[in-house]
Amino acid sequence: MNIVITSTGNTTDSKFDLRFGRAAYFCVYNTHDQSTKFIENENAEAQGGAGTKSAEKIIELDVKRVISGDFGPKAKELLDKFKVQMVMLDDGNSTIEAIINKIS
């Protein structure tokens, strides 16, 4: 299963990004082989609709669970529609690695 963790940078040392639509990177963690892949969020600076476009990206990546600080209403609606589980984590000091250790 693919899990996305929103990240402020493109390594596992990076801090967790509390924002979903405007997260700097999406870390795609594959639970089968424990691999990670970082995708730059091209909508981070969008004038509007960043949440919608990020949700679209998540669905395209065939992700079943997203871990982020919070989700806006438009992103939430779309993720709900495609049965993507949203996990909210209120910890901006955590690294991506620490979160992966927690869920694996």
Q: Could you tell me which residues come within 8 angstroms of residue 81 by beta carbon, excluding any fewer than 6 positions away?
A: none
Binding-site string for other proteins from residue 45 to residue 64, where x marks contact by CB under 8 A and - marks none: -xxxxx-xx-xx--xx-x--
Taking phi first (over 0 means left), then psi (-120 to 50 degrees means alpha), and beta for anything else, what does residue 43 get? alpha
Q: Could you tell me which residues come within 8 angstroms of residue 35 by beta carbon, excluding any fewer than 6 positions away?
A: 29
Please report which residue ranges of 1-104 form alpha helices under DSSP H: 50-60, 73-81, 96-103
Cβ closer to other proteins: 15 or 74? 74
Residue 38: count of CB within 10 angstroms of its CB? 18
| 86 forms part of the interface with other proteins (CB under 8 A) | no
Cβ closer to other proteins: 48 or 92? 48
Cβ closer to other proteins: 59 or 89? 59
Binding-site string for other proteins from residue 22 to residue 41, where x marks contact by CB under 8 A and - marks none: --------------------
Residues forming contacts to other proteins in the complex (CB under 8 A) are 43, 46-50, 52-53, 55-56, 59-60, 62, 74, 78, 82
